Structure 1
Amino acid sequence: MAMVAGTATAAPPADLDMRVETAMRSHGVPGMAIAIVEDGKVSLTRGYGVRRLGSPERVDADTIFPTGSTGKAITSAALAVLVDDGKLGWDDKVIDHMPWFRMYDPWVTNEITVRDLLVHRSGLGLGAGDLMFVPTSSRSRADTVRALRHIKPATGFRSGYAYDNLLYAVAGQLIEEVSGQTWEVFVRERVLKPAGMGSSVTEQSARFANPNRAWPHARTGGRVRGMGEQAVLDERRTLGDNGAPAGGLSSSANDMAHWLQVQLGQGTWTNAAGEPIRVFSQAQSRQMWTPAVLTPTPTWPGKLAAAAPKFSAYALGWNVRDYRGEKMIDHGGAIFGVLAYVVMVPERNFGIAMLMNAEDMPAMRGVALELVDHYLGAPKTDWVAAFDEFMELRFNGGIEALDAAAKSRVGSTGKASLATARYAGRYRDSWYGEIDIKQDKGGLRIDFTRTPGMVGRLEHAQHDTFRTVWDDPTIEPAYLTFGLSAEGKVDRITLKSVSPIADFSYDYQDLLFTPEDKGS
């Protein structure tokens, strides 16, 4: 049974509750929340299901969920406030405001702008550096920014698009350097409060302190993530505070409705007293919605092909694309165990925000697209089924790749080159930091020292390659390959994800560990 808050001023679909509950039930989703704004008015804020499997507490319109990368637009808005204040410009050089900032390439260090931090064209590879804050890290934000100088680019500066989170952490640090307040405080005081987002929080500790919060859930018991039984995750091992400007905001349906009003109102919304409240200027609203870099237009399979955009670009914390001949502004968000989605069609003056405490994407994105169709007056389409078809292909492809890799491995006949003890030691990667590998009861254990809880044993796979068996089974396993010198000593360690469809934030492939006494 749905729990409703707010007054309906527009007409959502009459069968919305039934549609949402059917999608949730068929996918085993514990809880969901939805906000809809049309013509500047809140049409609906509503919660469905439970906050945590096995507990009776219901999701309502004030239940807070992590919003993942949909919060990148909040960081962009905070920078927009500073632009309105005259304290920086979108095309200012970052180093002019943060002199200690460094990229790997000195020329890029001197050229990269505030705008570049937000649009994924820096030359970094997909998800570069994400292991510095997911799972939860012990690093500070400033320390994370300093490590950036050690990450080699994958492409030329401004030569193309590759999604990253790390530069949003830089943007958060930049806000602190310019304003004198941390990202958390500045966002709370200058964005959330003026926007009427009173239940939203910027710190993980504040989320944990709120009893009306959703817990993360995921399917991690199958051969690839997304398969197996739904289970509650450890909410304290999702995202470190150092990465919060990239995806650390937690919010509710009621607050997301206000955020939609601010966005559709080009920086201004009207509060309950009928007073117009400006969060940022119309000029900055235009800047944040203006495409800065073209992004690939996907080729989606089967029924989903009809929803694929013909034009796609990235602006300042937003995707800009077409759908059924309309310009659509949207962004997805994902923190382990939680998904979020925000979509707006500005020319039709409506927006939808969805929050879900599970990773079963079709249930959320399918319903969202069906709602967009409703407000566009488009024919009804079962987008949930279309996304299901897409995910089935993805899972099947992942399993086939795992089977092919298993056949190609030598297996137990490929014995390790060294005695177990000779693989042990402390190793260091230039940007991640240290790992410890220790002998334990005749085997090996590994500890990613900057990531609390990322510990486990190493299981021999073949030759000098081992597989991680993490104590926390929700962490994606990796293969570690020890490279040997001519003297038969460990010279380096490289890694790769075991799963071919692992989340890109497990950027194991970018790590290169060397014995600590060799330096970095």
Structure 2
Amino acid sequence: MNINLLRVRVVAVFLFGGLSAWVPYGALADTMEMDPEKYAALKAFADSRLSETKVPGAGVGIIKDGKVIFAGGFGTRDLNTGEPINSQTAYLIGSSTKPFTVTAIAILAEEGVLDWDERVQTYMPSFKFKDEYVSEHLTLRDLGSHRSGVVDEPEWMGSTLSRGEMIESMSDFEQSFGFREKFEYNGSGFMILGHMATLASKTKFEDVVIDRVTKPLGMENTIWSDLSGPNPPYTDNVAYPHVVEDGEARRIDFMFEGEAIRPSGTMTSNIDDMLKFVQFHIQQGELNGKRLLSVESHEELITPNSISSYGAGLSQEKHPAWQELYGLGWWLGNYNGHRGVHHGGNSTGTLSQVFYMPDNDFGVVTFVNVEDFLSDELVLFIVDLYKDELQ
């Protein structure tokens, strides 16, 4: 017999044994429209893994067939207070910012402001790496697909240098392998992309993303924020970073990340907003009847440019083909023959994952408030939970 779907919108703590003001591994759901058996399985898995890993809390969002079927959290956003996570809890998304950067660049390309295949020196004649040939031939596409062959960036976190000053300092960056020879993850390339957007559009990069991406999508709680210090500046509902030491978790303060690295990864968002971003990409550049990007330009973002050997998170023995390729700002893989697109991100004390299946109208976003790949485990568990329906 079919089980009726739960169709409720609530703010409550769900527990197998009853209701309480707060229990460390209860679920706070702002949108709940899952099959009860699937929800019970998800909750049991989340509760178990939070307990085993000592991660204080996790945020989860699921989109299926064009609608949000779950948006909420498990555990606590702040171990010091025990306050629960919900779909409005803000968190640092780290390198999950990169898909925002390439989306903005793609929109500028449609406007004729930038071109993925144009040389960086066209927009910034003074730009150079140590290798003259690479400096002269490097394109925006090379940067967006991590195939420059240049060594990865030094530790830029917390630097007070401007983005332009950082890029000037890259003039002595050497090749770690041949130009366009293979994939190597490199955050410096996205800082350069952001600077190209500024130079070509004559608009601050951060404003390009807000004005052309987040604001049109109604992502009102997605901002550029350096959440430095113990007191977040714009909301009380923040997932604080934590570390696990000697088998116990403890809260830590937000680390100052600096403005220059923003194109590579310093956005703050929440589950509700990130689900809008995922739905926009599932619908190939459109949300709520508003098209920001043509289907052709969107498809270019998820067309392979590099073969990736980057072995983190979703690249597990269970799904060995998950991270084989990289497009522009997105990893590309497959799940039982279906395309999977994703990008993860970490900041000090947090880790996030954004995932969608473009041919199956299905997407998942997760975050955890410890640097633990539980965020990716949750994605894999949820996709497995719905595998029979992803045909």
Whether TM exceeds 0.5 here: the answer is yes
Partners in 2 of 1:243 and 1:299 — Cα distance? 22
Which residue number corresponds to residue 39 of structure 2?
14
CA 1:228/1:139 → structure 2, altered by over 3 Å: closer, same or farther?
A: farther
SS of 1:60's partner is coil
Q: Which amino acid aligns with 2:302?
A: W
Q: How far is 1:311 from its partner? A: 7.1
Q: Is the 8 A contact 1:12 1:43 kept in 2?
A: no
1:206-230 CA-partner distances (Å, limit 9, x unpaired): 96432211111123x4xxxxx6432
CA deviation after TM superposition for structure 1 residue 255, in Å: 0.4
CA contact (8 A) 1:319 1:331 kept: yes
Question: Equivalents in 2 of 1:298, 1:156: separation in Å?
Answer: 21
Q: Which runs of 5 or more structure 1 residues have no equivalent in the other structure?
A: 222-226, 271-275, 379-520
Report the counterpart of residue 376 of structure 1 in structure 2: 387
Instruction: Spell out the pairing of 1:418-457 with structure 2 (5 A cutoff).
Output: none
Give the 3 Å change call, closer, same or farther, for CA 360–286 of structure 1 in structure 2.
same
Match of 1:351 in 2: 363
**RMSD (CA atoms):** 2.4
Aligned to 1:216: 241
Instruction: Tell me the SS of whatever aligns to 2:359.
Output: helix
Q: Could you tell me which amino acid in structure 1 is paired with residue 269 of structure 2?
A: S
Preserved CA contact (<8 Å) 1:184 1:203: no
**Count of residue pairs brought into register by the alignment:** 360
Given that residues 322 and 332 in structure 2 are in contact (C-alpha distance below 8 angstroms), is that contact kept between their aligned partners in structure 1?
no
- The structure whose RCO (Cα within 8 Å, separation 6+) is larger is 2
C-alpha distance in 1 between matches for 2:227 and 2:310: 38
Deviations 1:127-182 (A, max 9, x none): x2231x22x11211111111111111111111111111011011111111112222
Specify the alignment match of 1:153 in structure 2.
175
For 1:49-128, what aligned pairs fall within 5 Å after superposition? Answer: 49-125=75-151, 128=152
2:125 is matched by which residue type in structure 1?
A: P
CA–CA separation in structure 2 for the residues paired with 1:109 and 1:10: 54
Q: Does 1:162 align with 2:184?
A: yes
* TM-score, normalisation: structure 2: 0.86
Q: Which amino acid aligns with 1:323?
A: Y
Percent sequence identity is 28
The residue number in structure 2 matching 1:336 is 348
Q: Note if contact 1:165-1:246 (Cα within 8 Å) is conserved in structure 2.
A: yes
Q: Give the 3-state SS of the residue equivalent to 1:377 in structure 2.
A: helix
Are residues 228 and 317 of structure 1, via their aligned partners in 2, closer, same or farther at CA, if it must alter by over 3 Å? same
C-alpha distance in 1 between matches for 2:311 and 2:261: 28
Matched, 1:235 2:254: yes
Q: Runs of 5+ in structure 2 lacking a partner?
A: 1-25
User: Cα deviations across residues 294-321 of structure 1 (Å, max 9, x unaligned)?
Assistant: 1128699xx9523211871110011111
Q: Is the 8 A contact 1:297 1:309 kept in 2?
A: no
Quote the residue 1:288 is aligned against: 301
Q: In the alignment, is the contact (CA less than 8 A) between 2:74 and 2:84 conserved in 1?
A: yes
Preserved CA contact (<8 Å) 1:37 1:44: yes
Correspondence 1:314-325 to 2 at 5 A: 314-325=326-337
Residue by residue over 1:456-493, the C-alpha shift from the partner in whole angstroms, topping out at 9 and shown as x without a partner, is xxxxxxxxxxxxxxxxxxxxxxxxxxxxxxxxxxxxxx
Change (3 A) 1:295 1:59: same
SS of residue in 1 equivalent to 2:148: coil
For residue 384 of structure 1, what is the aligned residue in structure 2? none
Q: Deviations over 1:430-473 (max 9, x none)?
A: xxxxxxxxxxxxxxxxxxxxxxxxxxxxxxxxxxxxxxxxxxxx
Question: Against the structure 1 CA distance between its residues 257 and 311, is the aligned structure 2 distance closer, same or farther, given a 3 Å change threshold?
Answer: closer
Question: 2:217, 2:36 → 1: CA distance?
Answer: 24
